[in-house]
Amino acid sequence: MKLEEKFEQINDIMSKLEDNNISLDESYKIYTKGMKLIKECSDNLDKMEKEIMVIKESMQDENME
């Protein structure tokens, strides 16, 4: 699943949690799913940031030569 799709799902989950007509059990399930998606997004963004840093460093090293 793409990062953008995960963000969309998180937005949907937030909307559902704001609905007062869902049970506590359902809220818990939705919340748990949302937290897993948030962790996945955070991990993906951290990985991308590290890859960008490596690319930037390699470009700087090439420019120094």
In whole angstroms, give the CA distance from residue 28 to residue 51. Answer: 35
In whole angstroms, give the CA distance from residue 34 to residue 13. Answer: 6
* More confident call, 62 vs 53: 53
The predicted structure's pLDDT at residue 65: 65
Q: What is the DSSP letter of 14?
A: H
pLDDT digits (tens, 9 = 90+) for 2-54: 999 999 999 999 999 998 889 999 999 999 999 999 999 999 999 999 999 99
Q: Is the pLDDT of residue 63 over 80?
A: no
